[in-house]
Amino acid sequence: MPKQDLLDPQGKAVAKALERSGHKAIKAVRIGKRIELHYSSTPTAAQLAEAQKIAESFLTNGVIEDVVSVTVEQD
């Protein structure tokens, strides 16, 4: 996700469109990216910690993006 103190023009545009469509309860929209890592079996705690480090150091730009979460989803 973009860092909170950076502008998110896509999120602002979507928020305005939602408001115009009658969705008044939505306060703000932030738009980011989703990256999926697929393992051959259920990842261990060590592999999840490694995935977090990979996401923070290799897959995102730490200057403008935050890693929000690393989760396991079953296929």
Q: How many domains does the chain have?
A: 2
- CB-CB contact of 6 with 63 (8 Å): no
Q: What is the DSSP string of 10-74?
A: HHHHHHHHHHHTT-TT--------------SSPPPHHHHHHHHHHIIIIIS-TTTB---------
Pair (45, 66) in one structural domain:
yes
**Domain housing 25:** 1-32
pLDDT at res. 73: 84
d(CA 12, CA 24): 14
The answer on 41 and 27 residing in a single domain is: no
What is the pLDDT averaged over residues 38-62?
93
Q: Considering the chain, what is the average pLDDT of its residues? A: 92
- What does DSSP assign to residue 6? S
| Weakest mean pLDDT among 16-20, 51-55, 70-74 | 70-74
Residue whose token pair is 């408001």: 19
Single pTM value for the model: 0.72
pLDDT digits (tens, 9 = 90+) for 13-42: 999 999 999 999 999 999 999 888 999 999
- 28 and 43, same domain (yes or no): no
Does residue 53 share a domain with residue 68?
yes
